[in-house]
Copies of this chain bind each other. A is one copy, B any other.
């Protein structure tokens, strides 16, 4: 009869969970020892828990099924929390396994003792369970898997005491029933069809699973028939885009721009998305972006049947034969001269290979990316769903493991890259085909913008230095080489293109440090708040033109 850990790993594998991203300690040693008893389970070691959780997130986004994590006690969970937060906000399924002391050791308050459930509730509000008996461990695991799958997908935390893991008498369990999204009733579909047939301005806001090909095609038919605009949430979990797919406009990060996008709407139809609110609050500005007179409809909530509801709406509108607007193929020219953030985006648009997985955590430096890559060969885009930076490099690991035959391109800001820089080591260890591009502008550039926006008027040298990464300059090529990853620096567009082509052609991970000036010059940055303040008061066509210029 297997021990607890053996029964657990067999149960995970039976349910199709075949990758575990790990950073174990002593209390997880029986789980580690049991890995060799289950050939279907791959264990991927990371040097930091935030890499493990971010990799599990990236894996699930691309594999369409969860991975497991293996973390060490409350502190390991703390280290992994930020990327579990991003997964939670992206409705991504993860079976988050956290080792704990033996049940009888907990009351003794040893050095590493802390309240794990307390921390876990932050990212796993829907499922936290401390398994209490070896015989029930696999059953608890099946409950965790079912909770993770949703819908909506979520982070399910299973806490695994060491004695429950090492105990004899584990009982493997069959997998849970497949997830069953709730059906949407006809009355709701009809009501929304009625609003779309009416005279007001309308838009569909697509999020979550509604940004995949079949859902996008259905939405595009609805748009073609009704004249509704197609919007996507600001930070999609996974967006299928590129030539031949329906294009969709993302809600802008800057609330003032989003206000222009949404300001004229009479009806907004949510599809696996929530009504947009501003990312942060700003003094004297509203946080809700949808105008009061706009009626918000929910076509499908996150626990409901997204594709079924879209197809029903297509039928209700008689749009089955409507030709959807599709993105034509086009690429920008090859850039030349001194490198800038815009030229990096242009080079990526010029060179993006077929079936790429693009991870965008470039923050301000990535502003031009959506435009430059819109007509590239079809690709998947993964973004920072929860706003907790340090997601991109770990996501790249998971995506590359989920899709070993596809190139992964991770676009990362320099400040951002440093939160989980340890990810590079796992990329080298697993020989993953990841090309990481670091936008090195030596600044928390977005905070320079935000410092102006929050209305902090006098900005002194101490404040400015809090956003400055120039002294000392970070040398990402050396950092990568120190972790076994091939790396180069580029400060011209020619060098960047060359390095990017080389990285795509050669197997294994590569890092390119793109040395660029600050994304927004001081003058532009100081002008920004004034422009943004004026935006809602400008005539709509001018505001739209400005908006396109500011955030294409």
Q: With the chains together, A79 CA to B79 CA distance in Å?
A: 5
Partner of A479, one of B80, B105, B277, B478: B478
Cβ-neighbour of A75 out of B85, B112, B418, B454 (below 8 A): B85
Note all chain B residues with C-beta closer than 8 A to A283: 163, 166
CA distance A80 to B22 in the complex (A): 20
Most buried by B among A36, A111, A123: A111
Residues of B within 8 A of A115 (CB): 121-122, 125
Cβ-defined contact, B418 with A74, below 8 A: no
| Bound complex: CA A465 to CA B35 (Å) | 11
Complex contact B29–A447 (CB within 8 A): yes
Do A447 and B25 contact each other (CB < 8 Å), given the known contacts A85-B75, A456-B33, A479-B483? yes
With contacts A27-B280, A281-B104, A466-B43 taken as known, whether A386 is within 8 angstroms of B122 at the C-beta atoms is no
With A88-B114, A108-B288 already in contact, 18 other A-B pairs whose C-beta atoms are closer than 8 Å: A26-B279, A29-B447, A33-B456, A33-B457, A35-B462, A36-B459, A47-B469, A74-B81, A78-B78, A78-B80, A78-B81, A78-B82, A89-B111, A101-B280, A110-B277, A112-B386, A112-B387, A472-B484
A235 on the interface (CB 8 Å rule)?
A: yes
Interface of A toward B, CB cutoff 8 Å: 22, 24-27, 29-30, 32-33, 35-37, 43, 45, 47-48, 50, 74-76, 78-82, 85, 88-89, 101-102, 104-105, 108-112, 114-115, 118-119, 121-123, 125, 162-163, 166, 234-235, 274, 277-281, 283, 287-288, 385-388, 390, 415, 418-419, 421-422, 425, 428-429, 446-447, 450-451, 454-463, 465-467, 469, 471-479, 481-484
Q: How far is the CB of A205 from chain B (nearest CB, A)?
A: 15
Q: Is the CB of B386 within 8 A of A75?
A: yes
Residues from chain B with a CB closer than 8 A to the CB of A455 are 166
Which of these, B385, B451, B483, contacts A472 with CB under 8 Å? B483
- B429 adjacent to A29 (CB under 8 Å): no
* A121 neighbours in B (Cβ, 8 Å): 115, 118
A111 contacts across to B, CB distance below 8 A: 89, 234-235, 279, 385-387
Question: Is A33 within 8 A of B419, CB to CB?
Answer: no
- Chain B residues within 8 Å of A422, by CB: 418-419, 421
Q: Of B32, B88, B451, B482, which one neighbours A482 at CB under 8 angstroms? A: B482
A26's nearest neighbour on chain B, judged by CB, is: B450
In the bound complex, do residue B33 and residue A459 qualify as a contact, i.e. CB atoms below 8 Å apart? yes
A207 shortest CB reach to chain B, Å: 12
CA distance A42 to B118 in the complex (A): 33
Residues in B with CB closer than 8 Å to A125 are 115
Q: Considering only CB atoms, which chain B residue lies closest to A112 in the complex?
A: B387
- Evaluate contact between A428 and B472: CB separation under 8 angstroms: yes
Which residues in B have their C-beta under 8 angstroms from that of A102?
A: 281, 287
Residue of B with least CB distance to A38: B462
**Cβ contact within 8 Å between A35 and B482:** no
Q: Given the complex, which residues of B lie within 8 Å of A48, measured CB to CB? A: 418-419
Nearest 6 pairs of A and B residues by beta carbon: A472-B484, A36-B460, A78-B81, A33-B456, A478-B482, A102-B281
- Residue pair B112, A122 in contact (C-beta under 8 Å): no
The docked-state distance in angstroms from the alpha carbon of A36 to that of B279 is: 27
Are A74 and B122 also in contact (CB < 8 A) when A36-B463, A50-B79, A111-B386 are? yes
